[in-house]
Amino acid sequence: MTVITKSRIWLSSPHMSGREQLYVDEAFKTNWIAPLGPNVTAFEECLEQHLNDEVFVAALSSGTAAIHLGLELLGVSKGDEVLCQSFTFTASANPITYVGATPVFIDSEPETWNINPELLEKAIRSRLDAGIKPKAIIAVHLYGMPYQVAEIKAISEKYQIPVLEDSAEALGSMYHNNQCGTLGDLAILSFNGNKIITTSGGGALICRSTEQKQRAVHLATQARDNAPHYQHSVIGYNYRLSNVLAGIGRGQMEVLDKRIYARRANHAFYKAQLNEIDELEFLPEPEGVYSNRWLTAILTPSYEIREKIRLALEEENIDSRPLWKPLHLQPVFKDHMSFDNGCSEDLFNRGLCLPSGSDLTQENLYHITQVIKSIL
């Protein structure tokens, strides 16, 4: 039996700058430990300035909470249908069920690995023929790569179905010089521990008006009415981000550009080292697109070779992960409608995410690529 003694190389670990502690200490010194306070306000302002598109940000406890509130703001409720990208993490779809609606899954296209515009329109027409108009579209920028925004927006406008843009993995990515998080009718971000910046746990809903933000914050703070006593006219949630965690976010925002640079440099290193191996494929950036390269992923010739690489990396205590298993293939969603073409299933079978954290050293990266080369 092999005993692993090498330090673990993680897929995407948190990377603190040191500045975060200043804002956290400030929260403690001023006793702002509640889910509101100066750090929350300042963190929201930092995000708004970065996105730079007249948006209004509500800082929340998670990206999942942001999707839930986004669906609420779009009026999605019991009995509705929501068209959702299938090739994504389950958190993109779970909130659809929270509001009593039903997800309808749409497969991917090979250029960006994201929601397929042709299948999306086919699904809309099919549901309209059945007398049902879907209430919203959830499109995801997978692994930091923007989806085909122009095509999805055109379909959204043609059928008057709003887009909830899942930008959980794409803070800092751009589509034709527009920041991801500003491309849908509403959008969400995630600051989970593995994201490009983190607040440990956290997320944000990106709104188009102050009224939308006010409603989101109202719902996120248990929907308490304006009264001297506790009075509630609608169901609310405990979704607001704490002032302590928002302090971490403020420090992280100060190094966001450095974190994006490091992730893109990781991708460039992998590509330069492994490009000579014909059996491997990398996801290219389409013209006009800038990806933060949150995770670098490779496509191998087969499931068997993918597993050989993954297990060889694990033998060296190196974390790697198969690409997302499509939601239409997940047991929990097995009875739900899907419009699939086999693309995401093929990506899942052949794809592998490589360590991509911004704290990786050149030695780490070289070691990872040597292991892969030893297999191929």
Phi, psi of 183 (to 5 degrees): -105, -10
Selected catalytic residue, list 6, 29, 158, 195: 195
CB atoms within 10 A of CB 32: 18
Q: Torsion over CA of 7, 11, 12 and 13, rounded to 10 degrees?
A: -20
Kindly state the DSSP code that residue 90 receives in the 8-state scheme.
G
Q: 245-277 burial by CB neighbour count: b if 16+ within 10 A, else e?
A: bbbbbbbbbebbeebbebbbebbebbeebbeee
Structure tokens at 77: 């409720």
Q: Which of 260, 256, 257, 220 is nearest to 241 (CA)?
A: 220
- Distance (Å, whole) CA 129 – CA 159: 13
d(CA 189, CA 169): 7
Rg (CA), the chain: 21
Is 195 catalytic? The answer is yes
Cα–Cα dist 166/25, whole Å: 32
Residue 60 · residue 241 · CB < 8 Å: yes
Q: Is 150 helix (H, G, I), strand (E, B) or coil?
A: helix
* Residue 351: closest CA among 314, 294, 301, 292: 301
Residues with a catalytic annotation lie at 195
